[in-house]
Amino acid sequence: MKIAIYPGTFDPITYGHIDVLERALEIFDKVIITIAHNTAKEPLFTDPERLDMVKHVIKKYGKHTDTEYFDGLLVNYARKKKAIALVRGLRAVSDFEYELQMALMNRKLANDITTIFFMPHEKHTYLNSSIVREIALLNGDISSFVPAYVQKILKSKVQKLRKRKK
């Protein structure tokens, strides 16, 4: 079985993430989405909330997907899961430098695990979780960026934040 790891903060998961996942599922038997701890980011959602959103969104793919939270070195996690590849999405040239640096470092640490880059459909190239959160915080329509379940959770989170500020 060919297993790939798709790491990210998924704060929240968007249609762009889903597009990359679907492209990866065309090549791999199973894709494990990992909710990563990134010290450079401060997520809006807790780990359990992000895990719940991803699980809800990917359940339609059945046994071909799974999701877990992990903290630590990605290549160690990938080896533990017997993965042969890491899946990354590239939206624009601005993503490339960071992603290339990470891919080269992961290759140095684990030459047996390949990083594969997928470009999402062009209709998702501008899309990222930060923009979706910002639009939601400003009462914008996010229905074309995230699945209905994620939209509901995000709107609820925004309402709670507004109540705390009052």
Mind listing the pLDDT tens digit for each residue in 83-113? 999 999 988 777 788 889 999 999 999 999 9
* pLDDT per position as a tens digit, 1-51: 999 999 999 999 999 999 999 999 999 999 999 998 766 778 999 999 999
For position 40, which CATH number holds?
A: 3.40.50.620
Active site residue 156: no
Strand order in the sheet with 114-118: 65-70, 30-36, 3-8, 85-89, 114-118
User: Is 163 a member of any domain?
Assistant: no
In-domain check, residue 94: yes
- Of 2, 37, 41, 121, which one is the catalytic site residue? 41
On whether the CB atoms of residues 43 and 132 are closer than 8 A, the answer is: no
pLDDT tens-digit profile of 46-70? 999 999 999 999 999 999 999 999 9
Catalytic residue among 91, 124, 133, 157: 91
- Give the chain's mean pLDDT: 92
Judged against a pLDDT cut of 90, whether residue 75 lies above it is answered with yes
- Whether 165 sits among the annotated catalytic residues: the reply is no
Count of domains for the chain: 1
In a domain, 51, yes or no: yes
- 105: in domain: yes
State yes or no: is 41 an active-site residue. Answer: yes
List 17, 30, 50, 88, catalytic entry: 17
Let me know if 17 is a catalytic residue. Answer: yes
d(CA 68, CA 98): 24
Which of the residues 23, 50, 88, 129 is marked catalytic? Answer: 129
pTM for this entry: 0.92
